[in-house]
Structure 1
Amino acid sequence: MGTMAQPLRVGLIGAMGRWGPSAHIPAIQNLPETELYAVCTAHADTAQSAAQKYNVELAYSDDKVMNENQDIEAIAVSVRVPVHYALTKNALEAGKHVYCEWPLGADLKEAEDLAELARKVGAHTMVGLQRRASPVYLRMQELVNEGYVGQILGVNLVQMGSGVLTRTADRTWQRDVTLGANTLTIAFGHAIDAMAMVAGNITEVSGQVSTQVSQWYESDTQKYVDVTSPDNIMISGKLENGAVVSAYVGVHPYHGSGNRMEIYGKEGTLALVTGSNGALQIMGGQQDDQYLAEIPIPERLTWVPPTVQNSGPGFEVGQMWANFANSIRTNSFGGPDFDHAVQCHKLLEAVQRASDTGQRQKIQ
């Protein structure tokens, strides 16, 4: 991906949180396509601290004031889900392009409103479903499209995380299902979107959404808090191509086994597995193969410099930012936008409705 003469000037909301500093800042500051032009936090002192820490000239404690700066072209929203809507709406109304973390809103209605507003003002948007820019998922998508497995018959997805029993008090806000940040929206949402990217969209679904751990222990306050957010999601359904699909995403107390996605077709099998080093790798085999063998990931699917490749979560986020900046400069489509986010929110609502009613749901 070619370097543009003028880097995209980005204002980041959430420079003192978790994901902003660990993923967005290493990406934005090390890409030739982007410049971290300003940071914004909830308080003037933390904004100034962030600006000094990351060597950024402009610091704001009011997003509306930052949006008034005409030199800032795009806003990154990387904060808690409950405030995604207001901050993103403010940026769009100020004429900014917006990269908002996933989920776009706390519910489908918020996502639909933001997508409609973005279309109205003509803004470029991106939602943080970064597996769509991951080289390993992109290669798996290519293999399916090239006919490696032939007609897809079935897909099986399992993603097991750990650490559900204990959290610090600053993270237990996620216990409230109405706030929109939980295993269904985040872990399952990311996983099922990546599956759809590779194998096809889900058109009908039945499922179980469950809260197996009803209390979390706050390690710093030494208190137990009640939990309504789900931690286990199991679905079965059909894809648009007629294949059947099963998926189980859960967060458990200890030793989550990681990710595995299997695609079975008339011509072969592909499996995305967690390797011994913790990295994802593609295994594949066709009719005459005796066993599944690793399939390499071509370098052409990585378009960010080594400093971004080696930045942990900044790698895939950096791939997204490079796409987003290029789409703005060329006025083209750059990846999962707010309209795509709406479709993902519709799927999540269908899964929850299937669990609540016990009835299979069609997805439009």
Structure 2
Amino acid sequence: MTSRQPIRIGLIGANIHQGWSPRAHLPALAAHPDFDLAAVCTTRQESADEARAAFNAGAAYDDYNKMLADGNLDAATISLRVPRHYDPTMAALKAGKHVFTEWPLGRTTAEAIEMADEARKQGVKTAVGLQARANPAVAHLRKLIADGYVGRVMTCHVRLMREGVMTRDSGRTWQREDESGAHTLTIACGHTIDALMSVVGEFADVSTVVSTQATTWHETDTGNDLPVTSPDNILVSGNLQSGGVASVQIGNTAWAGSGYRMEIYGDEGTLVAVSVDSPQLKEVNIRGARGGNDLQDLVPSEELILAPEMPANEAYNVGQLYSKFAASIRGTSNGEDAVPDFDHAVGLHRFIDAIRQSSNEGRRIATA
């Protein structure tokens, strides 16, 4: 494979009527110059054929094992509900494919470790769907911090408040169970805190509260009220390995949320990033100030936009992450700009375990 040849990829979980794929992965792959959407797979041939026609894919399958048996396929994406990640991901790895699996990688940390170990055994490249790291604005913040824009990071805070947790249709109420591995702690908090750490560095320790405030969800299409065990509000505070301090608040609220805000204060400057939602989903606006000046707008340089061809919706940052995945497969990625892989995912799973442990035990937990 040369750098000029597109990477032939198959997508498992390609139903165009629901889920994350039709909003992000399918349009991103259809538009990405580094990839050829060679195959799509769902559990029914009819829906697979629909996806093939809608996104000009090469082939359609109703069995991912049949798709993975295609020797001309270089890579596979798994975009399914979190409890269903493990089996197709392991099958793709054992078939010798490079693999992109959505975040969270596994329902549990143990599942994530197994997948990362198998990828290492097979010698293939991997990516996990933590696309906030590839958001050009987040990449710009990372570069500004590395270049000393704020000097020494002294304190930072991130807040994400979303609306609508108390009512959901039956296609989404499966997330009410903590054991599913797909809820505010793993998804909203996982994405948001990973973006923060990509900018200011890792935590050395955490003291946390993990709470379920909405103990019942109303299922809109059936009228049922269902018990909830998954967390919906998370508070994290701690020391950064760099010496600064950080706090994070993530919540799903009953009504209008206030969106996303990251603030970073150093001994030489300030950076503020805002968005209507988490940076893995939406555009982020940055303002900065140095040396006593007022905050002013800061715009990412064009070199940080890795895939300008992407549609301006939820596919945009996913497309940027696919550029990092392509670079990893071709051996052209570098250092801080490398794709978050399965080993990175295991680290984030373990960090989230530490957040839960701190809350359960009511004490500060070392994470470094």
TM-score by length of 2: 0.94
- Equivalent residue number for residue 172 of structure 2: 171
* Displacement after TM superposition at 1:47 (Å): 1.5
Partner of 1:84: 85
The aligned amino acid for 1:341 is A
Amino acid at match of 2:295: L
Q: How far is the alpha carbon of 1:49 from its aligned partner?
A: 2.2
Whole-Å separation in 1 of the counterparts to 2:32 and 2:26: 10
> What SS class does the counterpart of residue 226 from structure 2 fall into?
strand
Q: 1:108 to 1:275 in 2, by over 3 A?
A: closer
Counting only pairs closer than 5 Å after superposition, residues 1-364 of structure 1 correspond to structure 2 as: 4-16=3-15, 17-274=18-275, 279-289=283-293, 291-306=294-309, 308=310, 310-330=311-331, 332=333, 334-364=338-368
Q: Give the secondary-structure state (helix, strand or coil) at the position aligned to 2:3.
A: coil
1:197 is paired with a residue whose SS is: helix
1:209 counterpart letter in structure 2: V
3-state DSSP class of the match of 1:185? coil
Letter in 1 for 2:261: R
CA distance in 2, matches of 1:30, 1:128: 18
Specify whether residues 50 and 20 from structure 1 end up closer, same or farther in structure 2 by C-alpha distance, changes over 3 A only: same
Give how far 1:87 is off: 1.1
How far the C-alpha of 1:100 sits from its partner, in A, is 0.4
**Structure 1 stretches of 5 or more lacking a match?**
none
Q: Secondary structure of 1:159's partner?
A: strand
8 A Cα contact 2:37 2:58, kept in partner: no
**For 1:35, what is the secondary structure of its paired residue?**
strand
Structure 1: which 4+ aligned runs deviate by more than 3 Å? 331-334
**CA deviations over 1:177-230 (Å, ceiling 9, x no partner):** 101000000000000000000001012001000010011111111111111010
CA offset at residue 275 of structure 1? 7.2
Aligned CA distance change for structure 1 residues 104 and 39 (closer, same or farther; 3 Å)? same
Tell me the alpha carbon deviations over residues 250-273 of structure 1, each in whole angstroms, 9 at most, x when there is no partner.
011111101111111111111112
Across the aligned residues of Structure 1 and Structure 2, the Cα RMSD in angstroms comes to 1.5
SS at match of 1:164: coil
- SS state of the match for residue 221, structure 1? coil
SS of 1:36's partner is: strand
Contact persistence 1:33–1:326 (CA under 8 A): no
C-alpha separation in 2, matches of 1:273 and 1:214:
30
Structure 2 Cα separation of the partners of residues 154 and 147 of structure 1: 15
Which structure 2 segments of 5+ residues have no match?
none
Cα distance change, pair 52–274 in 1 and its aligned pair in 2 (3 A)? closer
Q: Distance in 2 between matches of 1:102 and 1:24?
A: 13
What is the CA distance between 1:44 and its match in structure 2?
2.1
Question: Equivalents in 2 of 1:212, 1:18: separation in Å?
Answer: 25
Counterpart residue type for residue 78 of structure 2: V
Contact kept? 1:26, 1:311, Cα under 8 Å: no
Distance 1:269 1:281 in 2: 14
Pairwise CA distance, 1:165: 1.1
Between the two proteins, the alignment pairs up a number of residues equal to 358
Pairwise CA distance, 1:53: 2.4
Q: Which amino acid aligns with 1:5?
A: R
Determine the C-alpha separation between the residues in 1 that align with 2:301 and 2:260: 21
Aligned pair in 2 of structure 1 residues 318, 288: CA closer, same or farther (>3 Å)? same
Q: CA deviation at 1:312?
A: 0.5
Q: Which amino acid aligns with 1:241?
A: S
Distance in 1 (alpha carbons) for counterparts of 2:83 and 2:34:
30
C-alpha contact 1:27 1:314 (8 A) present in aligned 2: yes
In the aligned structure 2, how far is the partner of 1:314 from the partner of 1:233? 27
The offset of 1:287, in angstroms, is 2.3
Q: Secondary structure at the match of 1:88?
A: helix
Alpha-carbon distance in 1 for matches of 2:317, 2:363: 36
SS in 1 for 2:115: helix
Q: What is the percentage of aligned positions where both structures have the same residue?
A: 44
Q: Which amino acid aligns with 2:349?
A: H
| Deviation of 1:359 (Å) | 1.0
Asked if the contact 2:38–2:73 (Cα under 8 Å) also holds between the matched residues in 1, the reply is yes
Q: Is the 8 A contact 1:103 1:341 kept in 2?
A: yes
Cα displacement (A) at 1:323: 1.6
